[in-house]
Amino acid sequence: MWIQAWGENSLRIRSTKIASMPEEDWALIEQEERETEIEIGESRATITNGKIRACLAKAGKMTICDRNDKILLDEFLRNRIDDKADYCSALEIQAREHRPILGGDYSITARFESDPREKLYGMGQYQQPFLNLKGTDLELAHRNSQASVPFVLSSLGYGFLWNNPGIGRVVFGKNLTTWEAYSSKCLDYWVTAGDTPAEIEESYARVTGTVPMMPDYAMGFWQCKLRYQTQEELLSVAKEYKRRNLPISVIVIDFFHWPLQGEWKFDKDYWPDPDAMIQELKTLGIELMVSIWPTVDYRSENFQEMMERGYLIRTDRGLRIAMDYQGNTIHFDPTNPAARKYVWEKAKQNYYEKGIRIFWLDEAEPEYSVYDFDNFRYHLGSNLQIGNLYPVMYAKTFHDGMKEAGQDRILNLLRCAWAGSQRYGALVWSGDIHSSFKSLRNQFAAGLNMGLAGIPWWTTDIGGFHGGNPDDPEFRELFVRWFEYGAFCPVMRLHGFREPKQPPRGTTGGAGCVSGAANEVWSFGEEAYEICKRYLLIRERLKPYIKKLMAEAHEKGTPVIRPLFYDFPEDITAWQVEDEYLFGPDALVAPIMHEGMVSRHVYLPEGASWVNAWTSEAFAGGHLIKVDAPLDIIPVFLRDGAKLPINA
């Protein structure tokens, strides 16, 4: 067992039963050695690094405290080794368990005592409405719309990173907290102590990395749908935004613009002159983002070479097929450095050299037709043991290639992340979610917890992905409420697979894939259009403010959107609020997330004064107030005299 200082006020704890400690740092960045205080006595040993101290009893139990000896984490141990200890028990439950797997390594379990009053946040993105994760049972695995980023921030004053990329599970129970990895060589976690959530978050960012500085264009509005089928269709939409004098920063070409999966290039039948298209968009002041999938079709021109060179993931049983959507496919293996270089060179030749500077790295979990995690094997090992690294290495594939090409402000859109993804320019969106108010509420919790898990660049499909008819009055209400919320998210991106579906424009190549109905801001009726136009202009006016928020995310790892307690940790009520958030330090946003709602209660944190951004009415902090919220208004309050151009 190794306990060592790893960053300021932080410790890394590792335990293994193999012959030597594994060398991988996984999410962590190597740190300079720090001076620590180590004391070894007859019954216990302690190590102190600034504000954190670990005490290891001779009987095997470890307790982690802050500088005032307040217990932060206390291992759950029940054995008979020391009959004088309060944990002496006939249960014989170990705090650190390495259970052998026949013919393999170990299943790993770490157990801690639980304080029922503790509140827990972070852990990435799960499709559930709870901001406070105490009492939840979470799968440590990625799926479409689920991103496991295993860092948790505690109201007790610590942050905890489960530094293990294997598939597993965590239960934040009332009686104990249990972390599991189903196959691993080593138990590995990192813990930090801090006086405020911001201090904890910044310590975590220093050991796992921060996002690059966001490109200026990415702070505006992004237009997308499933899917623009031709070059002519895409350009017509871009020109219509300009004709209407509507702000637009990015327009997106979605999947199946290619001949076959694994052929990372435009299908010339439907995109005959991409060079001219890209240049025309640039003259309009619009960046083009293109979709990349990691899947390789057996029929594609690159399949045989990639298989022979070992660039594709493998299956331990059955056919070597991971997905069967629009063809039999297998994913490229980004844990293989040579495979990363191969895929980037294809993308560089067919996209980057034409002027494309931003990529949509879809299917980043990666998605499987059948989630048999134990069946897939990568260059670095079994998916069961290292599979959660996939989105990190996928982001690294393009980040490193773009950096080598001379680009510094690198941003790519991914459908998944793990700890450390942020340092490779990963903007995560919440996946193929349903178009409903219930789903909107899930995204609200997901976005805040992603930021606290160290992924400050996050967004949703405005309006949801699956469903939604632009002519349906009920969907129009949802769309408007989502659009208003999207204006105050780190990235404002409109996307969706609207009804009714549109027929394919052809039968060859990617054209065999269907498209959805119109999904532009003018597609939802005149009332919705006028509201959307209002919020597009608000987003545009807020760009200087957003740029400051992105600088904080880059420099310190500060979440762009965060719960009220992040800035007001001394306000007990702020820890209870789960339907409001701060968009940077100066704006409190209270979205409307229920159908038919035209007013709501808003809590204004103690320790600041607040002004309604729409009415200029002033309020003292520490109070719950009721505000009107007609369809065109999302409640926003400005802090301590902040002058943001919202109601200009």
Q: For the beta carbon of residue 42, count every other beta carbon within 10 angstroms.
A: 6
B/e letters for 327-344, b = 16+ CB within 10 Å, e = fewer, are bbbbbbbbbbeebbebbb
Say how far apart CA 300 and CA 371 lie, in whole Å. 24
Helix 473-486, helix 437-452: angle, nearest 10: 10
Is 232 an annotated catalytic residue?
A: no
* H or E segment and range at residue 339: helix 337-350
User: Which residue among 367, 432, 461, 567 is the active-site one?
Assistant: 432
Three-state secondary-structure class, residue 427: strand
Q: Which two tokens stand for residue 369?
A: 């037709």
Say how far apart CA 181 and CA 508 lie, in whole Å. 44
User: Which residue among 74, 267, 297, 362 is the active-site one?
Assistant: 362
How many residues belong to the chain? 648
Query: What are the DSSP calls for 148-209, one per residue?
Result: EEEEEEETTSEEEEE---SSEEEEE-SSEEEEEEEEESEEEEEEEE-SSHHHHHHHHHHHH-
Q: Are 222 and 490 in contact (CB under 8 A)?
A: no
Three-state secondary-structure class, residue 511: helix
Of the candidates 286, 398, 270, the residue with the CA atom closest to the CA atom of residue 341? 398
Q: What share of the chain is helix, strand, coil (3-state, %, to 5)?
A: 25, 30, 45
User: Which residue among 180, 254, 263, 365 is the active-site one?
Assistant: 365
Q: Which two tokens stand for residue 102?
A: 């026949």
Q: Which two tokens stand for residue 191?
A: 């813990």
Say how far apart CA 75 and CA 96 lie, in whole Å. 8
Say how far apart CA 235 and CA 272 lie, in whole Å. 13
Tell me how far CA of residue 261 lies from CA of 153, 258, 294, in angstroms.
40, 7, 8
Is 432 an annotated catalytic residue?
A: yes
* H or E segment and range at residue 140: strand 137-140
The residues that are catalytic are 362, 365, 432
